[in-house]
Chains A and B, each alone.
Chain A
C-alpha cells in the first residue's frame, strides 16, 4: 500500500484462489480447529439436507485475511468483519477483492468480498486499516 496514492475507489490487488478441494476442507478442519462434520463428512451434510459438503465460512474469511495482510502490515488492521451470505460448495473457485470506500487522515475503510467463478458473492465485509503517520509515509510503500 502506498498511502499517498490512496483514493476512494482504489482497489487492492485481487487474490485468486484454486478450486476448493475436499483435501483443503480436511486440512482446514484440522488446522482451524473447526471439526464440524458438515464440512468434511458427506453423510453428515446429507442428513442436514445439503447435497454435498461445503467450505467453512472461516476458510474464506482467512483468504480475505491474506488479501489484507498481503496489502498492509497486519498490525495496521483495526477491525475486520464479514457477513457470510452464501455457501461455498466444494470445488468452487473463490477470488478475494477489496476496494477503498472511505478515507480519513489516519485510517482507511476497505470493502472486501469473496466471489466465486460463477459470480456468486459468498462473503461481504469491511476492514478498517490504520494509515502510517505522515513521518512514516516516505519509507512505507
Chain B
C-alpha cells in the first residue's frame, strides 16, 4: 500500500523527554562489545573531564526509540513493519551529552519519495535533540518501505 505523502508530511509526531540512564549506557556498551572504560566506568569518564558516561555516537537513535510508540507513525500510515528496512542514518553533533541528562526530542517526517513506480518508498524522519535551550544533535533516518513483499 502506497504511503499517503501529504498525510505523512502533516503527521504531528509527539515531542518527548528522555533522561539518559547510566545503566542503560553500560548495557548498550556491553551489547556492542565496547571496551573503552570511559563508556563503562564513571571514574574513567570523569578522569578525562566528562561529568558522567558520555552518550555514544549512535545511541541518539535509541533515544528516539524511547518515544511512547516509536513506530506509531508507520502504523498510522498503514505500513506493515515487516516491510520496513533502515536505509540511511545520519547524525550531526553540536556537543556531547551524558548519563543523567534530560534530553528533549522533537521529530518530523521531512520527506517521502518513491522509486520503481512506488514499489519502494523512502521516508525521512528528522529528530532534533536538545538539553534545555542547548542544541545537542540532529538525527536523520531514512526508512525503506518495500511494498508488496508481504502477501499475507
Contacts and interface: CB of A to CB of B under 8 A. Distances in A.
A84 B149 CA distance: 19
B57 A74 contact: yes
Chain A interface residue bracket vs B: 35 or more
Contacts of A44: 82
Size category of the binding interface on chain B = 35 or more
B135 interface: no
B24 interface: yes
A84 B86 contact: yes
B65 A34 contact: yes
Contacts of A133: none
Interface stretch (A5-13, A24-32, A101-109, A113-121): A24-32
Given A31-B30, A48-B83, A69-B36, A58 B89 contact: yes
A32 B61 contact: yes
Contacts of B152: 47
Given A47-B150, A47-B152, A59-B32, A31 B57 contact: no
Given A31-B28, A32-B65, A84-B88, 12 more contacts: A27-B31, A30-B27, A31-B27, A36-B84, A48-B82, A57-B85, A59-B31, A61-B58, A66-B34, A78-B93, A81-B90, A82-B88
28 contacts: A30-B27, A31-B28, A32-B61, A32-B62, A36-B84, A47-B82, A48-B83, A48-B150, A58-B62, A61-B61, A62-B56, A62-B58, A63-B32, A65-B56, A65-B57, A66-B34, A69-B39, A69-B57, A74-B54, A74-B96, A75-B96, A79-B91, A79-B93, A80-B58, A81-B90, A81-B91, A81-B140, A82-B89
For the complex of A and B, list the 7 residue pairs with the smallest distance between their C-beta atoms, beginning with the closest. A81-B90, A33-B65, A48-B82, A31-B31, A65-B57, A27-B31, A57-B86
